[in-house]
Structure 1
Amino acid sequence: MSRSQARRGVAAVGVAAMVPLGLMIVGGGAANAAPASVDWWDGNSHFTRTISNAMPAVGEVVTTSTKFERKAWTSSEILHEVKDVHPTCLTYVEGSAKVDGKAQGLDSKGADFAKVKGSWTVYPNIEPKSHTFEFSYTVGADCARGAALPTSMHYSGGLGSGTYNDKGPAITVAKNASTTTLAAVTDAKVGKSSQLTATVTGGAAGNPVEFYDGATKIGAGPLAGNSVSIAWTPTTAGDHGITAKFLATGSANESTSAAQTVTVAEADVETTTALAVPASAVTGAAVELTATVSPAPAGGTVQFKDGDANIGGPVAVSGGVATLSHAFDAAGGRSITAVYSGAGGFLTSTSAAASITVTDPAPVDVETTVLAAAPTTAKVGAAVDLSATVTPTTAQGTVQFKDGDTAIGAPVAIIDGAASLSHTFDASGTKSITAVFVGGPGYLNSTSQPVTVTVSEPLPTDVETATTLVVPAAATVGQTVTLTAQVAPAAAGGTVQFKDGDRAIGLPAPIVDGKATLSYSFPTAGAKNITAVYSGGTGFTPSTSAAGVVTVSAAPAQGGGSLENIFGS
């Protein structure tokens, strides 16, 4: 404790007298959530500090209150600042600060304190004779359990200040109550692994849980989240009393699940599976695959396999036998097995592998048809696609495209019944296109009906033009001036329309030797934005010049009236 110079004498007495004057602590048990209080004198100031619940649980809210009073017939004191000090595992509840029961905004807060500032006068003989400061906190899961966590407060006032470290009352956070439940265990058998799963409330990840068969420990594991599972393989048949026990930790109490009676059945019967298959087969022709399970089980299925691939679906076992009729779709050596699923107390089993050599039937040449497709028109020098479709699509071979009797390019391989060729005709005329299929082994040749392609010369490309405008720099209203447009290259045909902004000036002027002119007198004064728009002609594209400015005045232009501006497109 420390006090300011103004109260040094009284503070000294308070320090010496603190213990003899009685550091009274009153506390209730966690079950009753009783408050705990401590009071002390420091000179002429009396402090009473109370915790609403000295033994809270995690997640509960506790409130601290500190009451300030003055000894009778002494001077009053103005409180300027009260700092409530708390364990760092408590979190301030926003908006909970109060002075004399009324909400008070915080001045500041930190990991271990909350502070208010203001001006509160405490009088010794008239009201207000006291002021009470309250702060509420939520108890965090990171609080140590079963250990006294100190609280305190500091203040400053008109007569000095007080720093009271660990004055109290202390808070002791109770351990979590825990509950443990054991999930139902079904289908337990001797020699078969079953899963035991326990769910715990009040624990934390990593806390240990043990499993028992009666008084015999089966195994243990740490919580992952709020549950844990272990594998249990019973060795004896009959009823077993299974429990799960959550072991006490520094933050939670021990708990044990209700005992669950698990009836363990006798071990399953071992089986053997024998497989019978023909030594050879032909693709597309069905053969029988037969599996015999011993001893004959009451139920279950057999899955026949070719290597790792299933052959059809599972086949039910009847009288210990399962049979599947199957046609192989490709030639080659096959390694066949039969896998019994197990059922009704009978264990699974897999047969030894049996080999089948599958061959294709004797080949028969297959007839084919081929259809040719091409665009009806084409241009000299422009590539077009020629295509052919062969039926059946499994046919192997090549297609030779022809123009009459002349081969077009090289033979094209058939892929999935189709072939295509990009071709450029080098002369105009009518072309008769056919596709000739040359079959591979087992497929006959065929030729398509001809398709006609009319090939023409490409159209000429128009020549781009550029238009240049020549206008005088200045003119006078009513004075005739010449506007000139030059089109390059010299266009054959077309006209030029002169414009003032968006307004046409005069009629379109014809092009002569690439040039068009217009004699024109401006009716009004001002700056005129003149352009020349070439219409385009046969084989020539349109073009527009850049804008030229003519300054038109009402009076005769003064000197330099003959200057011209030249503007290109």
Structure 2
Amino acid sequence: MSDRKVRRVVSGVSALAVAAGFTVVAGSGVAGAAPESTTWETTNKTKITRTISNTTPVEGDTVTVTNKLYQQFGGVVTYIYWVRDIHPPCLKFQSAKVDGKSYGASTGADYAQVDGSIIQWPIRPIANPRSRTFEFTYKVGADCERDIAMNTGMGYNASIGGNTWSTKGPKINVPYNSTSTTLTAPANMQVGDSAVLEATVTGGAQGDNVDFYDGGVKIGTAQLNDKGVAKFHWTPGAFGRYSMNARFPATPRALASFSTVVDVTVSPADTVSSTVLAPVVGAQVGQASVLRATVAPAGSGGTVEFTDGGEALANVPVGADGVATYTWVPSTAGDHTIAATFSGSAGVTGSSDSATVNVAAAPVDNIDSRTVLTIGPIPTVGVAQTITADVTPGDAGGTVTFKDGDAVIGISSVDSSGRATLEWTPAHEGQRNITAQYSGAGNVNGSADEITVVVGTVPGGGDNGGGTGSAGSLSGGTGSLFGS
């Protein structure tokens, strides 16, 4: 009996590419496959050639093993009864063929076998068929040991006897999985925030560890899930710039890899603000009371919204001194829940304060006022408009607060003729609700009027994207007693 082995190595991966840092991706197919054959003769002049399509497959690859039995001159007609292919248990059987045609097989942990009848598969020394080919296909499992030569072999039985060669070869050597690691992290965070660092590893297995680093300091470990993703919840303790990366350590089946660095900028935590609503005393229906909120730290900007029982009264910018005020003219007696809510600003949290204010009824001998609001006929974005409020009786004095919605536009004193005026330049097109709130004075009760206007764009395009809306319109109010 004689043996000989033939091995052919098809193109490999360039060592230069690996050294340069390129990711080596392991995949299915025959590119880079290393087929190998071994041949021997039996004492009955049967030549057996056993070929493995790839002796260095990676996890997930498909491997085909071909056993060819050829009857040489000098032998006798032989009837093959069965052929058994012996393989490492980590190769998972897929299919079998006999002479190129699909054929059913029985399997065990380390073998696959095809069985024929006593006359089904003859091989002859002279006339055809002189050979038979038995082909077995497997898939390389994740449980294969790595970088270890694993035995393969075959056996058969025939009319002139048979034999089994469990370690005849060729051997199969499954290399370590090549891996690649990528990291996803937010570019910007704030102290106190929590973020999920997400590492995706190709070539790893569920349950494998991934280590997360800030520069060279390990900050935590997480395991890969069934999708090859590891998630680590991270809360930075200080502001600054962090250089995050994820590292997949080598395992018994996979090579190590690491991600590129992802820079994360962490800004300081917001300064906590406080808002204090000053006590309101002497509030009376129809008379002005000043709502005053003080925000700390001063100079934070932002706005304060004043509300009465949850209903918006006004939205007022916070001055550089941290103070926001609004002239409130209550329209009903009794307890009112007044709240001042600071909006917050860049780097500063919002805050609020509230108080119960008791409003007294107006004296029975007070005089009711009437306020009539007038706006120019063509409200247009970017064009100054004169807003006029005429108060009757006209000699009471006091002030008028003008609002766009609940945002205060400005405050104007009532002159001796009962008129208060304000210049308003609309910033946005569309429908706006403009209010004039007279404060009342002395024994004259406050009152209010409201007009709905439609602000048009500047002819020819103008502001806010150059729309083609109306030039502006308004629908008037007729004045109301004791505020709105």
Task: State the TM-score, normalizing by the size of structure 2.
Answer: 0.55
Compute the displacement of 1:167 (Å).
Answer: 3.4
Partner of 2:88: 87
Say whether the 8 Å CA contact 1:190–1:234 is kept in structure 2.
Answer: yes
Q: How many angstroms does 1:249 deviate by?
A: 1.8
Which residue in the other structure is 1:421 paired with? none
Looking at structure 2, the residues matched to 154 and 328 of structure 1 have their Cα atoms a distance apart, in angstroms, of: 104
1:162 — aligned with what?
A: 163
Which residue does the alignment assign to 2:197? 196
Deviations 1:316-350 (A, max 9, x none): 86334567989999x99979795x56542x24264
Using the TM superposition, give the Cα deviation of residue 194 of structure 1 relative to its aligned residue in structure 2, in angstroms: 4.6
Q: Which residue of 1 aligns with 2:113?
A: 115
Quote the offset at 1:112 in angstroms: 4.2
Q: Does 1:231 align with 2:234?
A: yes
**CA deviation vs aligned residue, 1:416-471 (integer Å, no higher than 9, x gap):** xxxxxxxxxxxxxxxxxxxxxxxxxxxxxxxxxxxxxxxxxxxxxxxxxxxxxxxx
Separation (CA, whole Å) in 2 of partners of 1:55 and 1:49: 16
Residues 241 and 124 (structure 1), Cα distance of their counterparts in 2 relative to 1, 3 Å cut: same
Give the aligned partner of residue 98 of structure 2: 99
> After alignment, is 74-83 or 118-127 more displaced?
118-127
Deviation at 1:51, TM superposition (A): 1.0
Contact persistence 1:218–1:232 (CA under 8 A)? no
Q: Give the SS at the match of 1:182.
A: strand
- Candidates 244, 252, 267, aligned match of 2:254: 252
Q: 1:122 to 1:56 in 2, by over 3 A?
A: same
Contact 2:82–2:115 (8 Å) recurs in 1 = yes
- The question of whether the paired residues in 2 share the 8 Å contact of 1:301 and 1:314 is answered with no
Question: Which of these two proteins has the greater Rg computed from alpha carbons?
Answer: 1
The residue number in structure 1 matching 2:429 is none
What are the residue-to-residue correspondences of 1:463-502 with 2, within 5 Å? Answer: none
What are the Cα deviations for residues 254-290 of structure 1, in whole angstroms up to 9, with x where unaligned?
Answer: 111122344444x2452331231657999xx999876
Contact 2:59 2:174 in 1 (8 A): yes
Partner of 1:176: 177
The Cα shift of 1:313 comes to: 12
Q: Give the counterpart letter for 2:98 in structure 1.
A: V
Q: Is the 8 A contact 2:208 2:223 kept in 1?
A: yes
- Asked whether the 8 Å contact 1:77–1:123 carries over to 2, the reply is yes
Q: What's 1:211 paired with?
A: 212
**Separation in structure 2 between the aligned mates of residue 289 and residue 34 of structure 1, nearest angstrom:** 86
In the TM superposition, residue 68 of structure 1 has moved relative to its aligned partner by 1.4
Q: CA deviation at 1:297?
A: 5.8
8 Å contact kept, 2:192–2:235: no
TM-score, with structure 1 as normaliser:
0.48
Count of aligned positions: 332
Q: Deviations over 1:376-433 (max 9, x none)?
A: xxxxxxxxxxxxxxxxxxxxxxxxxxxxxxxxxxxxxxxxxxxxxxxxxxxxxxxxxx
Confirm whether residue 37 of structure 1 aligns to residue 37 of structure 2. yes
1:77 aligns with 2:86: no
Summarize the Cα distance change of 1:291–1:168 in structure 2 as closer, same or farther, 3 Å threshold: farther
Shift of 1:305: 11
In the TM superposition, 1:7-26 aligns within 5 A as 21-22=2-3, 24=5, 26=7
Report the residue type matching 1:244 in the other structure: A
Match of 1:549?
A: none
Deviations 1:216-246 (A, max 9, x none): 3333322234232331416353x54332212
**Residue 50 of structure 2 contacts residue 65 of structure 2 at CA under 8 Å; is this kept in 1?**
yes
Bigger Cα displacement from structure 2, 184-193 vs 81-90: 184-193
Q: Is the 8 A contact 1:278 1:287 kept in 2?
A: no
Q: CA deviation at 1:178?
A: 1.8
Q: Which amino acid aligns with 1:257?
A: S
1:87 counterpart SS class: coil
CA drift of 1:315 comes to 6.3
RMSD: 4.5
Structure 1 pair 58/271, CA: closer, same or farther in 2 (3 Å)?
same
Shift of 1:26: 3.9
**Gaps spanning 5+ residues in structure 1: where?**
1-16, 362-569
Q: 1:270 to 1:258 in 2, by over 3 A?
A: same
Q: Distance in 1 between matches of 2:306 and 2:111?
A: 74
CA separation of 1:292 and 1:277: change in aligned 2, threshold 3 A: closer
Query: Quick check: 1:181–1:257 contact (8 Å CA) kept in 2?
Result: yes
- The question of whether the paired residues in 2 share the 8 Å contact of 1:51 and 1:64 is answered with yes
Structure 2 counterpart SS, 1:63: strand
Post-superposition offset of 1:164:
3.0
Query: In 1, are the aligned partners of 2:277 and 2:340 still within 8 Å (CA)?
Result: no
| Amino acid aligned to 2:178 | A
CA distance in 1, matches of 2:64, 2:156: 18
1:64 is displaced (CA, Å) by: 0.3
Residue 41 of structure 1: how far off its partner (Å): 3.7
Identity %: 36
| Structure 2 counterpart of 1:356, one-letter code | T
Question: The residue matched to 2:82 in structure 1 has which SS?
Answer: strand
CA distance in 2, matches of 1:137, 1:328: 87
Structure 2 unaligned runs (5+)? 14-31, 362-484
Distance in 1 between the 2:200 and 2:314 partners?
Answer: 38
Matches within 5 A, 1:244-323: 244-265=246-267, 267-268=268-269, 270-276=271-277, 291-296=293-298, 318-319=318-319, 320=322
Q: CA deviation at 1:34?
A: 0.8
Aligned to 2:62: 61
C-alpha change, 1:257 and 1:316, in structure 2 (3 Å) is farther
Where 1:211 maps in the other structure, the secondary structure is strand
Contact map agreement 2:280 2:290 (CA 8 A) in 1: no
Matched residue type, 1:208: N
Q: Deviation per CA, 1:488-532, whole angstroms, max 9, x where unpaired? A: xxxxxxxxxxxxxxxxxxxxxxxxxxxxxxxxxxxxxxxxxxxxx
Change in 2 beyond 3 A, CA 1:311/1:53: farther
| 1-structure distance, mates of 2:54, 2:288 | 84
**Residues of 1 paired with 2:313 and 2:184: CA distance?**
35
Given that 2:244 and 2:261 are in contact with CA atoms closer than 8 Å, whether structure 1 keeps it comes out as yes
Q: Please say if residues 304 and 340 of structure 2, whose CA atoms lie closer than 8 Å, have aligned partners that are also in contact.
A: no
Cα shift readout 1:110-168 (whole Å, capped 9, x = no counterpart): 55443323322223344433222112122233433334443332322111232333433
SS at match of 1:188: strand
